[in-house]
Structure formats: structure tokens, C-alpha cells
Amino acid sequence: MTKSPQIIVLDTGGQYCHLIARKVREFGVYAEVRPSETPASQLAGARGLIISGGPSSVYEPGSPTVDPAIFDLNAATLGICYGQQLMAYLLGGNVKRGDKGEYGLAFLDVTTPQTLLDGVNSHQQVWMSHRDTVLAVPPGFTALGATGACAIAAMADPSRKLYAVQFHPEVAHTHPGRQILHNFLFTICGCVQDWDPSGRIPVVEEQIRQAAAGRKVFFFVSGGVDSTVAYTLCLRALDPGQVHGAYVDTGMMRENETEFVRANFSKLGARHFTVVDARREFLAALEGVTGPEEKRHAIGGQFLAVQDRILQSGHYLDADWILGQGTIYPDTIESGGAAKADKIKTHHNRVEGIQRLIDAGRIIEPLSSFYKDEVREIGRELGIDEELLERHPFPGPGLAIRCLCGNDSAAARQIGEGYLLPVHSVGVQGDSRTYRPALALDGMPSGEHAATELINRISGINRVVAAAASHAPLGSLRSAPAYITEERLAHLRRVDAIVRRLSHQSGFDKTIWQFPVVVIPVGVEGRPDSVVLRPVDSVDGMTARAVIMPAALLKQMTEELLQVEGICAVFYDLTHKPPATIEWE
């Protein structure tokens, strides 16, 4: 590893900041992330600088900025999203709040092909997440491309090696993203390959040994990809007798999940592994809790309470023990764990008690710098069964965050093309958290991009769903007070099992990245809940594309789901990420 990065990413608080550096390293070019305000004198010697996106507005007091002297360095500079706006603002352009936002899917039309966009065909799919926009380029700059809602989607001043794009070339759903980054790195910056992205496992194992420093490691595992890979890395890096593990059955698990986990950890060769039944404790901790953040905090707090009891009983809190976790990088980003990043939702591995252990040096997280697709690759190198590695991601808090709750009673309200459902969900718009109602359409729309167009046009929503089938008209649906109960969890477990079975039998589950199944407290008397289907395609979970399943499969699925007790309607989530998160909470 070289000590002098060729590319430095200046962090202005974007959800994808670390992802930019990772994508650069995938080209064999070493990159590092630095605070955006790093003085230009400390950046001299880099071949290129990239200013990340972020949740702020450049014209607001106290918003993240950069040392303006960086634009006079010999290094080429690329601004991304907020980075483009900041470059324009500091160099004399005009940045204002747009008439409407642009979140998720957009199409780039190249108007002035230049070096940065060399090889990029016009009308290419890109991924956006912004409300502010550049209305006029700074002196010396030329607009390179536009989208339907953004007249200046890319700009450049080649004489000063200054380039910027409003969209995110680092995410998988921007189709020409790799070409654009390649152009910037090699044609504009003149980078040379000096970084080998392979060989991660020996590096991580050495980090584990250094962090453990002779101490034993105790893991609470979920049976998912992340915790299993992290646990296996510790088994390899340390003596297997030094690594103990426990699986806590919270009662928020899918059907037959505990049996699956027990069988797979036996295959890993774990010497000290136990299953702990804590179903009653978690249900009691969630009694009467409705808000998504409150729910996550309650779950995280109960995890701590159960963990503390287990750790105390086994003397695992003694000085010769530390706690292991399978936290991956998106968990830390969405929990606001990076400088200037907005908190989208609290991950259960980042509640206050866990943070205290981190601050005390009592936590080891081997995967905290990696994304889900990287974790799967590491798992394959470790020889973990493909059956486990190819499991769809499942949230640590389990079905609790897919069982939405509320205290209110309200009716669905018709607006324009659809109905505002009386239930809120979490979104991410402009790199910031939103908590807004969903718009429900009466039937599946014909246009592929209906959700994107509606959310960009209608303020106050962050998600669009379509009614695939219903026992009652949409206008008659209403919400009612609803909480986490054994009965509602049983209904969710049942509908989740139906969806997983039919998805697997049809092969649909092989075409998608994840398929959350959500129960929302919207229905009619006798059938107070409805189901939301949320199949998405992604690479790393940072962005995602809503996927429409075959009509015959959807018909079969809805027919079975509407037979489940208490279920009134089946909705299909049409929304990409952004503007919606993958999970509803």
C-alpha cells in the first residue's frame, strides 16, 4: 500500500463518500478520504481530488466547504452532486433550490462531449439525489450535459482541469459511471495503477489479531451473511477456542430461521456456539412502541440487556474478552457515523451502549470498511457455503422493522393520480432522511418510471406503491392504532414465508438482491393490515432499483396473500433508492 494517495476524496457528508474511494481503488488506484476543509497545502502532490456529495445546501451558513485554493493546485478536481454545486458556488456560478427535486433514476443527454464524458453515449441512465441545482456555470466553464429536470448535469473548465457532475457516477445504477471515473482517473489525472484490491483477507486477519491483542472474542451472530463472515474471519485469525458465539432468538425471526442458523454454524467448525431464547423479552421491550427510530432504539437496547446478561453469566466482560460484530460500512453511514453525514436510521449495532464499547476499544468489527458485495466475495474466498452467502440481506432488528406501527386512526386521502396512505416510511432524499407518507396508485402503472416522476413532482411523499389486489376500494382504507404483537408478527411471518416460497419456486429470487415484505396498519374492519412487496436490485445497498415481477407470479402471490387472516390489500413498492430506503423503517 502506498502512503501517498493519488486520489483524495474530500468528504462533505455524502452517503456515498466512502464508495467513491472504493470505486477508485477498484481501478487499481490508491485513494483516501479526507475532511472537506483539509487545507490545500496538505493536498499538494495528489494527482486528483474528488469533492463528494452531501445533504447540505452550499448557500446556507455553516455548510461544508473546501479550501478555495484547491482549485489552483496542479491536481485535477471532480465535483459530484453537492461537489458540483460547491464548485460552482465558490467559483462564481449560480446555485439555487430547484423547482422540484430529482431523486433516483434520470437520463443524461450529452450536449457538449469533452474529455470527462468521452465514450459516453447520449441518453444514458444516471442516478440523482438533489433538490438544489446549478443554474449558471462559473466563468470559464461549459455545460456538458442535461437531464429532464437539470439543465446543467455536468460542467467543465478543461484549462484548469476542473470537472463536475450533478449525478453520482460512483453508484452501480449510473450506467456510464465507470467510464466517467476511468476518464477522470487516467485521461485527466494521469493516474497509474499502484493498488491491488485482492488479498484483503490476510490484511483483515492481521487487523483482527492486533485488535484482539491476545484477548478472546465473543460474537452475537444473526446467521446472516455479515455476521457469519465476520465470525469466520475471527475463527481463522485466532485460535478457534478463542472465539465464542451466541445466536439470540428475538422472536422477530423468519420461519425456521433458528434451525437454519444452528445447522450452518455447526458446519463452520465453531467450538463454542449457543442459541439463546429471548422472545418474551424483546416482545415486552416493544410493547406500545410505534416510531421507527424508537423501535430501533428499543431493539438495540434490548439486545444490550440480553447481551449483558449472557456476557455476565460467562464472564465475557472480563478484561481478556472483547465483543465482535458483523457491522458493514453502509450501517455506519446511514447511522450518521461519518463526518457531516445525515442520520437516515439507527442501526442496532450503533445504539448508545454499543458506541460506548467502541469508544472503550472493546469492539472488533472486521467488516466495517466493506460493502455487502465485498463481504460476499470475502465469504467465497473463505469457503462459506453459497447457500448462506446468496441469502438476501435481512435486517438485524428482524421482522420488527417490517411490521409498521402507529397510534393514529386516519383515512386514505385522494390526491391527483392516487391516494395518500395514512402511514409514513423512511426515505433518503438529497442525502438527508425524510419521513413521509406513501402515494398509492389504483393498479400497476404502465410506465416504468411512474414512481420517479410522481415523487419528483409531488412534494411531501418519498414512496409510490401500486395496489396489486385488495378486498376493499383504496378510498375506504384507513389506519388504526397498531403495535408489535405476537399476532401481527405471526401474520407477517406467514406472508413472508409465502413470498419466499413462491419467489424461490419461480426463480425470481435469483434475479433480485433483496425482497423485504412489509405489513402496514392500513385496511378495513376485520382486515386491519395490508402487505407491501418490495423486491429490489442492488449491488451494495447504497442505491437500489425497484424490480417488477412477472404478472403471473404476482397474481399467484397476491391470491395467496389475501387469504391470510387480517390482510386487506397487497401493495407493490415501485420506488427506487433514493428517494426511498430499501426497508420502510
Residues 488-547 pLDDT 10s: 999 999 999 999 999 999 999 999 999 999 999 999 999 999 999 999 999 878 889 999
Q: Are residues 436 and 532 in the same domain?
A: yes
Q: Are residues 263 and 356 in the same domain?
A: yes
Q: What is the dihedral of CA 497, 499, 502, 508, to 10 degrees?
A: -130
Question: Residue 65: which CATH number?
Answer: 3.40.50.880
Q: Are residues 328 and 407 in the same domain?
A: no
Q: Are residues 208 and 175 in the same domain?
A: no
Any idea how long the chain is? Answer: 585
pLDDT in tens, 60-116: 999 999 999 999 998 999 999 999 999 999 999 999 988 788 888 999 999 988 899
Instruction: Return d(Cα 250, Cα 379) in angstroms, integer.
Output: 25
Q: Are residues 100 and 158 in the same domain?
A: yes
Residue 318: what pLDDT? 78
pTM of the model: 0.73
Task: Cite the active site residues.
Answer: 81, 168, 170
Position 343 in a domain? yes
CA 206 to chain centre: 28
Instruction: Return d(Cα 321, Cα 311) in angstroms, integer.
Output: 10
Q: Are residues 433 and 357 in the same domain?
A: no
Domain membership of residue 482 as a residue range:
403-573
Going across the sheet that includes 243-249, the strands are 272-277, 243-249, 216-221, 321-324, 363-364
What sign has the CA pseudo-torsion 395, 399, 402, 404?
Answer: negative
Residue 347: what pLDDT? 46
Residue 348: what pLDDT? 47
Position 584 in a domain? no
Q: How many domains does the chain have?
A: 3
Q: Are residues 300 and 428 in the same domain?
A: no
Question: Residue 288: which CATH number?
Answer: 3.40.50.620
Position 2 in a domain? no
Please provide the average confidence, as pLDDT, over all residues in the chain.
90
Instruction: Return d(Cα 455, Cα 564) in angstroms, integer.
Output: 31
Q: How many helices (H) and strands (E) does the chain have?
A: 15, 25
Instruction: Return d(Cα 536, Cα 542) in angstroms, integer.
Output: 12
Q: Are residues 240 and 261 in the same domain?
A: yes
Q: Evaluate if residue 448 carries a pLDDT over 50.
A: yes
389's grid cell: 452467502
Angle (CA) 178 184 189, round 5°: 145
Position 1 in a domain? no
Which of 367, 399, 431 marks a domain boundary? 399
Residue 320: what pLDDT? 87
Q: Which H or E run contains 412? A: none
Q: Are residues 321 and 421 in the same domain?
A: no
Position 580 in a domain? no
Residue 2: what pLDDT? 38
Cis before 139 (ω within 30): no
Q: Are residues 392 and 428 in the same domain?
A: no
